[in-house]
Amino acid sequence: MVTIYHNPRCSKSRQALTILQSKNIELNIVLYLDARIDQSLLESLLFKLGLSAAQIIRRNENDFKRLRLDAKDINEQQLLAAMVKYPKLIERPIVVNGQKAIVGRPPEKILEIL
């Protein structure tokens, strides 16, 4: 089963979902803004992505700027905590297939793990 961490308000996330649906694969759609991602799951996703929190945080979001998450003394744990509290900060979509995950930017990139 393939899982997509999806935000229906995001055009890239919608495009990725359309790609997945066109492949007729068993799909688990997680509306992560509603379901919320806890720190353990976020750490697991980062491991599968092979990325750090800093690499998937949305820097243009108001919460990122308001919380001053670009300060030099901000560490990985603080970024994770902010992403758990404010899930809009998590880049989207994230698609997981087994032990592999990818950020669907551009959406066609998800094909690499199918």
Out of 10, 30, 67, 80, pick the active-site residue. 10
Identify the pLDDT of residue 31. Answer: 97
Identify the pLDDT of residue 9. Answer: 95
| Residue 93 · residue 45 · CB < 8 Å | no
Q: Measured over all CA atoms, what is the biggest interatomic distance in the chain, rounded to whole angstroms?
A: 46
Identify the pLDDT of residue 21. Answer: 96
Q: How far is CA 19 from CA 24, 96, 97, in A?
A: 9, 14, 14
Identify the pLDDT of residue 36. Answer: 86
CA torsion, points 38, 44, 50, 51, in degrees to nearest 10? 10
Provide the residue ranges of all domains of the chain, joining segments of one domain with +.
2-113
Mean pLDDT for back-to-back runs of 10 residues, the chain (114 residues) = 97 97 96 94 98 97 96 96 97 97 97 96
Q: Is 10 a catalytic residue?
A: yes
CA atoms within 13 A on the CB side of 32: 26
Residue type, 43: E
Identify the pLDDT of residue 39. Answer: 96
CATH superfamily of 2-113: Glutaredoxin (3.40.30.10)
